[in-house]
């Protein structure tokens, strides 16, 4: 599966909320985190059924268990590094072709950077990460397939289009697989070479077995 990152078309749609007072005061960002049905500026489209299934799973596996973390800017992996966590998505629900989200700014070092930037009036955006297959369509765009898995509903980004270009460039030749409960990057050329070597080894082993069987039959005559 390919790493897929998406940013929201307008970073001004992300609002800043303050809840509570004094020591209980918490900072949140909210707005459209995900989009389905429409062809986005990365020339991809998410069918509503695909996005709804991914969001349902993310709500169950991450948000309901307080694990919906996001980082400051895009990292080089599909999953979150807790040491770089800046926000935690607390809500994600459908609103038309969008999925509205709400995320708490954490008291981590990265979260404090986001909090200070927001307090100083810096505009931020959000960008999602996921893994899935793409199918080229005759209309010229790529359709995200049903194996799509949402791994991060929202990272905090300051130049979403540049971040997306960076991630796409880095992972142009990379694929990921889900193995033993973790996502692992694989190199396609390395996998092909390992398969070729394995086939060669199996062929040699088959030849050896045939030779041993022949010798055994000659000895017993």
Per-residue DSSP letter, 79:
S
Backbone angles phi, psi at 209, to 5 degrees: -65, -40
Q: Which one is catalytic: 127, 146, 161, 217?
A: 127
Output the DSSP codes for 24-46. Answer: G-EEEEEEEEEE-SS--TTSEE-
Q: How far apart are CA 111 and CA 115, in angstroms?
A: 6
Where does 26-141 show beta strands of DSSP type E?
26-35, 44-45, 69-71, 85-95, 98-105, 125-132, 134-136
Length of the chain: 221
Q: Is 130 helix (H, G, I), strand (E, B) or coil?
A: strand
In the chain, how long is the greatest CA-to-CA distance? 94
Q: Has 10 been annotated as catalytic?
A: no
Q: How far apart are CA 121 and CA 101, in angstroms?
A: 21
Q: Has 216 been annotated as catalytic?
A: no
Region for 167 from its dihedrals, namely left if φ exceeds 0, alpha if ψ lies in -120 to 50, beta otherwise: alpha
Q: How far apart are CA 75 and CA 170, in angstroms?
A: 11
Q: Which one is catalytic: 64, 74, 146, 217?
A: 74
Query: Which amino acids are annotated catalytic?
Result: 74, 127
């Amino acid at each position: 599966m390919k790493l897929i990152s998406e940013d929201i078309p307008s970073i001004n749609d992300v609002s800043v909320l303050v809840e509570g007072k004094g020591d209980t005061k918490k900072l949140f960002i909210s707005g459209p985190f995900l989009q389905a049905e429409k062809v986005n500026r990365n020339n991809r489209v998410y069918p509503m059924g695909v996005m709804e299934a991914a969001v349902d799973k993310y709500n169950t596996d991450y948000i309901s268990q307080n694990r919906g973390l996001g980082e400051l800017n895009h990292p080089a992996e599909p999953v979150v590094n807790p040491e770089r966590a800046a926000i935690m998505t607390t809500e994600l629900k459908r609103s038309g072709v969008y999925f509205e989200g709400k995320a708490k700014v954490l008291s981590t070092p990265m979260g404090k950077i986001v909090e200070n930037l927001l307090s100083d009036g810096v505009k931020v955006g959000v960008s999602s990460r996921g893994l899935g297959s793409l199918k080229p369509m005759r209309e010229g765009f790529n359709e995200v397939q049903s194996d799509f898995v949402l791994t991060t509903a929202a990272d905090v980004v300051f130049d979403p289009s540049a971040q997306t270009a960076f991630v796409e460039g880095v992972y142009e030749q990379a694929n990921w697989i889900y193995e033993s409960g973790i996502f692992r990057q694989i190199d396609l050329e390395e996998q092909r070479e390992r398969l070729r070597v394995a086939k060669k080894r199996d062929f040699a082993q088959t030849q050896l077995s045939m030779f041993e069987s022949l010798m055994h039959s000659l000895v017993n005559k």
